[in-house]
């Protein structure tokens, strides 16, 4: 059974930093792309970052230069380092598994971890 | 950037058929995936590659994609289908490479 468990969320002041982690199990972690997707309260889903099996990374402009996605295959773990946080980054952050290539398929999601940016 | 447009809400009586649309420029040329999200829960994949169903998803859920509109169809709607539904595609020309629609709240009357 595929399991994705996020941790590391919490309250942080504007301009601060936070590192999210995602522990994966039930599949061959190194063989899959991985994603972070966020959802502000009452809002829709927003893709935040992705990392391929070769370590290639992708970000939208809203977080590029502030967020860094990384993976540690030996530990079946995914990370998101978030710097220069803003109030607009407040959201539940989901770790998710993706299929490679141009299909864009994201097939499994974790339960999410809440990040609150506030003074 | 590529934009996916969904109706904010759809209402349907139990036992009837619900259709949730997802509009995008020439979306028929892309693979569309659909997710169900119930309150306080993570999204769950219900349709992938336009019309395929993951194991465990009832046959009542189906999908189609042509032209500028993709559609998620839920037949014989049950109270437990009440949720938010999101369509999603991958678009290499967008800032957000993985693009989500704004979501549709399905209400079972």
| Res. B93 pLDDT band, cuts 50 70 90 | confident
Q: Does A42 touch chain B (CB under 8 A)?
A: no
Is pLDDT of A15 > 80? yes
Is pLDDT of A101 > 80? no
- A78-93: average pLDDT: 98
A vs B, Cβ pairs < 8 A, gives 68
B103 phi and psi angles, rounded to 5 deg: 95, 150
DSSP state string for B53-100:
--TTS-TTEEEEEETTEEEEEE-S--GGG-EEEEEEEE-TTSSSSEEE
CA-based nearest distance B68→chain A, Å: 18
Contacts of A35 in chain B (CB under 8 A): 98
Looking at chain A, the number of H-run helices and the number of E-run strands are 0, 11
Residues 6+ apart with CB under 8 A from B60: B74, B75, B76, B77, B78, B81
DSSP letter (8 states) at residue A115: E
Q: Are strands A106-109 and A91-98 parallel, antiparallel or unpaired?
A: antiparallel
What per-residue confidence (pLDDT) applies to B95? 87
Q: Does B88 touch chain A (CB under 8 A)?
A: yes
What per-residue confidence (pLDDT) applies to B65? 98
For chain A, the maximum distance between any two Cα atoms, rounded to a whole number of angstroms, is 41
Contacts of B92 in chain A (CB under 8 A): 102
Cα A116–chain centre separation = 15
- The Cα-based distances of B56 to B46, B61, B63 in angstroms read 9, 11, 16
Is pLDDT of A89 > 90? yes
- The Cα-based distances of A75 to A22, A70, A111, B25, B69 in angstroms read 10, 12, 20, 41, 42
Residue A63 near residue A48 (C-beta atoms within 8 A): yes
| Res. B92 pLDDT band, cuts 50 70 90 | confident
Residue B26 near residue B32 (C-beta atoms within 8 A): no
User: Which of A5-9, A113-117, B90-94 has the lowest average pLDDT?
Assistant: B90-94
What per-residue confidence (pLDDT) applies to A18? 98
Considering only CB atoms, A44 lies closest to which of B54, B97, B100, namely: B100
Q: For chain A, what is the mean pLDDT?
A: 96
User: Which of A23-32, A41-50, A93-102 has the lowest average pLDDT?
Assistant: A93-102
Q: Does A3 touch chain B (CB under 8 A)?
A: no
Contacts of A44 in chain B (CB under 8 A): 86, 100-103
- B47-74: average pLDDT: 97
């Amino acid at each position: 059974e595929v399991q994705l468990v996020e941790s590391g969320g919490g309250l942080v002041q504007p301009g601060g930093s936070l590192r999210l982690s995602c522990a994966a199990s039930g599949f061959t972690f190194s063989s899959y792309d991985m994603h972070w997707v966020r959802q502000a309260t009452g809002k829709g889903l927003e893709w935040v970052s992705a990392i391929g099996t070769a370590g290639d990374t992708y970000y939208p402009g809203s977080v590029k230069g502030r967020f860094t996605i990384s993976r540690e295959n030996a530990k079946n773990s995914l990370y998101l380092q978030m710097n220069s946080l803003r109030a607009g980054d407040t959201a539940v952050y989901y770790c998710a598994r993706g299929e490679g290539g141009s299909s864009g398929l994201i097939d499994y999601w974790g339960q999410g971890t809440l990040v609150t940016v506030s003074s | 950037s590529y934009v996916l447009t969904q109706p904010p809400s759809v209402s349907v009586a139990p036992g009837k058929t619900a259709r949730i649309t997802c509009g995008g420029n020439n979306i028929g040329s892309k693979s569309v995936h659909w997710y169900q999200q119930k309150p306080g829960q993570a999204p769950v994949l219900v349709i992938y590659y336009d019309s395929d169903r993951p194991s465990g998803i009832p046959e009542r859920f189906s999908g189609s994609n042509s032209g500028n509109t993709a559609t998620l169809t839920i037949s014989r709607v049950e109270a437990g289908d009440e949720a938010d539904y999101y369509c999603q595609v991958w678009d290499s020309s967008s800032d957000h490479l993985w693009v989500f629609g704004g979501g549709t709240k399905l209400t079972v009357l």
